[in-house]
């Protein structure tokens, strides 16, 4: 469906993945049985809806083709198709990491390359 997908994560979890070689997800992923991800078009809404209490986050850019059969496109919020990853994400599939924070008004500030 798309070449790149995006995982919003705790920056410390992404740093740990760079050392271990794989991103295994966080508590809510483990509870749901898959790693949640978004397309670029879904990213801003996902931040607003699911990360209201966070102050600083990392956004991992993931090469979808490197995930093989672990990547499934499934209906989620509003019946929209979202990328779900059933297994760890090899750190080699992460093509970039962006650190994001809120602006003075409290809205998430995405870097230009992630803004639509």
| 30 φ/ψ sector (left φ>0, alpha ψ -120 to 50, else beta) | alpha
Top-level class of domain 4-103: alpha beta
Res. 1 pLDDT band, cuts 50 70 90 = low
| Mean pLDDT, the chain, whole residue set | 92
Q: What is the pLDDT of residue 94?
A: 97
Average pLDDT, integer, range 9-30:
95
The whole-model pTM stands at 0.92
Q: Is the pLDDT of residue 12 over 80?
A: yes
Using DSSP bridges, classify how beta strands 81-85 and 35-36 pair: parallel, antiparallel or unpaired: antiparallel
Three-class secondary structure of residue 10 per DSSP: coil
């Amino acid at each position: 469906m798309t070449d790149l997908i995006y995982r919003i994560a705790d920056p410390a979890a992404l740093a740990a993945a760079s050392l271990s070689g794989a991103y295994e997800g966080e508590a809510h992923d483990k509870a749901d049985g898959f790693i949640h991800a978004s397309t670029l078009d879904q990213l801003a809404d996902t931040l607003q809806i699911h990360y209201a209490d966070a102050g600083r986050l990392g956004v991992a850019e993931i090469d979808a083709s490197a995930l093989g059969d672990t990547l499934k496109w499934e209906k989620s919020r509003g019946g929209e198709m979202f990328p779900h990853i059933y297994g760890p994400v090899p750190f080699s599939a992460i093509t970039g990491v962006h650190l994001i924070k809120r602006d003075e008004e409290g809205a998430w500030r995405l870097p230009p390359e992630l803004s639509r």
